[in-house]
Amino acid sequence: MPAEIQVLHHWVVWGGLAIGLAFGIAAAHSHFCTMGALADIANMGDWTRMRMWFLAMAVALLGATGVEAMQPGVLDASMYRMTRLNVLSHAVGGLLFGFGMVIASGCGARTLIRAGAGNLKSLVVAIVLALAASMTLRGALAPLRVNVLDALSIDLGRAQDLGSLLAAFMPAGSGLDASLLRPGLAIGIAAVLAFFGLRTADARAPAALVGGVVTGLAVAAGWYLTGSVGFVEEHPDTLQEAWIGTSAGRPESLTFVGPQAYTLDLLLLWTDRSRGVTFGIATVLGTILGSLAHALFTGRFRFEGFRNAEDTGNHLVGALLMGFGGVTAMGCTVGQGITGVSTLALGAFLTLAFIVLGARLAFRYLEWRAG
C-alpha cells in the first residue's frame, strides 16, 4: 500500500474508532434503542425513545446534506443510491430483522452496547449474528439472497433517492433537478422529524438530546470521514477514484450487521495480509469500548446470562434472523433507519417500514407465548 494511501487508511480507521466510541457512550447513557423505543410505545404508550430516534434521523439528514454540499456526489457513490431497488430483499430482510431484534432483546447496535456492559446473552447474539451475516454475504445463505430475493428488483433508471425520483416528474425547463430538490426535501423532512422529536419535555431532557444529537452527528461524521477525508481522485495503483479504508470501497457510515461479519472474518483470518481493520470494523470496536467505558464509569457493568432454554432459543433465532435480514435488507435500524434515511434512499424507507412491521409481529408472538 503506497504511503499516502496508508496514511489516509489510518485516518479513516482511527476516525471510525472515535465515532464508534462517541456513539457507544451516548447510546449507553441515553438507552438509545430502536427495539426499546417500539416496546415502550407498545407496552406503555411512551414515545420518549422514539422521539430520540426521530431527532437522530433529523440531525443525520441535515449533516449528510451538509457533507454532500461540501463533497458533491459523495452520497451518490454509496450503496444506498443504487439505481436498482431490491423490493423483495428490503421487504423480507426488514421483516426478518425486525422480528429478530425483538426476540433477541435488541438490534445489532444495541447488542454491542449491552455486550460492552457485560451482558453475556448479547455477546452470544453478536457472535451468531456475525456468523449469519457472513453466511449471507458470501456463504451458504448467499445464493438465496442473490438468486431469489435480489432477483426481484426494479431498475429505476436513476438514483433511488427521493430528490432524483421527484425530479423525474418536474416539467422540462423548471430548473428543479435532483441537486436542488435533495436539500429541500432533506431540510423539510428533518424539520418535521425534529418537531416530533422535540415536542415533549421528556424528549428535550439532556440524556435524550445526547442520544439523538450524538447519533445523528456520528452518522454525518461517518459520511464526511469516508466520503471526503478518505477520498482520492486517482489511486496510485488503479488510477481511478477510490474511497480508502471502507469494506465496500464506497463511502460508508454507521451500520451494524455487515461490519460485525467483517470483524469476525478478520479475527478468524488474522494472518491473511489481504485483510485489515476498516471503518466499519473500527466503529464496531469503538461502540463496544464506549459502552464498556460508560458501564465501568457509572458502576453499571455486570454479567448477565440466559434465564432458561426458551430464552436461549429466542436469542439464537433472533440473532440468525438479524444476521440474514440485515445483510439482505442492506442495513439495520441504524444502517437503514438513520444512515440510509440520511441519503433519502427509497430502499431505506421501505426497509424501515418492514422492520417496524416485523417488530410488531414479534411483540404479538411474545404476547401469545406468555399466554
Helix (H, G, I), strand (E, B) or coil at 211: helix
- The pLDDT of residue 1 is 67
Work out the angle at residue 34's Cα, subtended by the Cα atoms of residues 141 and 127, and round it to the nearest 5 degrees: 40
**C-alpha span between 107 and 34 (Å, rounded):** 7
**C-alpha span between 321 and 216 (Å, rounded):** 26
Quick one: which of 55, 369, 80, 297 has its CA closest to 190?
55
Contact (Cβ atoms closer than 8 angstroms) between residue 345 and residue 81: yes
- The pLDDT of residue 173 is 66
Helices 309-328, 120-138: axis angle to 10 degrees equals: 40
pTM: 0.95
| 8, three cell numbers | 489516509
Quick one: which of 86, 71, 96 has its CA closest to 228?
71
Contact (Cβ atoms closer than 8 angstroms) between residue 360 and residue 353: no
Between the alpha carbon of residue 323 and those of residues 91, 93, 100, 254, 349, the distances in Å are: 15, 9, 9, 16, 20
- Which DSSP symbol is given to 237? T
Bridge-based pairing state of the strands 242-243 and 84-85: unpaired
Contact (Cβ atoms closer than 8 angstroms) between residue 77 and residue 250: yes
* CB neighbour class for 260 (10 Å; exposed up to 12, middle 13-18, buried from 19): buried
**C-alpha span between 257 and 284 (Å, rounded):** 9
Quick one: which of 48, 126, 47 has its CA closest to 320?
126
**C-alpha span between 150 and 64 (Å, rounded):** 27
Contact (Cβ atoms closer than 8 angstroms) between residue 165 and residue 157: no
Helix (H, G, I), strand (E, B) or coil at 255: coil
**Number of neighbouring beta carbons within 10 Å of residue 269:** 11
**C-alpha span between 319 and 323 (Å, rounded):** 6
- The pLDDT of residue 335 is 96
Cβ-count burial 338-362 (b if 16+ within 10 Å, e if not) = bbbbbbbbbbbebbbebbbebbbeb
**Number of neighbouring beta carbons within 10 Å of residue 176:** 15
Range of the domain at 347: 3-370
Domains identified in the chain, total number:
1
Residue that is written with C-alpha cell 457512550 in the block: 25
* CB neighbour class for 310 (10 Å; exposed up to 12, middle 13-18, buried from 19): exposed
Contact (Cβ atoms closer than 8 angstroms) between residue 264 and residue 130: yes
- Strand positions, DSSP E, the chain: 84-85, 154-155, 231-232, 242-243
pLDDT tens digits, the chain, 371 residues: what are they?
677 888 999 999 999 999 999 999 999 999 999 899 999 998 898 999 999 999 999 999 999 999 999 999 999 999 999 999 999 999 999 999 999 999 999 999 999 999 999 999 999 999 999 999 999 999 999 999 999 999 999 999 999 999 999 988 877 766 678 888 999 999 999 999 999 999 999 989 999 999 999 999 999 999 999 999 999 887 777 778 889 999 988 999 999 999 999 999 999 999 988 889 999 999 999 999 999 999 999 999 999 999 999 999 999 999 999 999 999 999 999 999 999 999 999 999 999 999 999 999 999 999 998 87
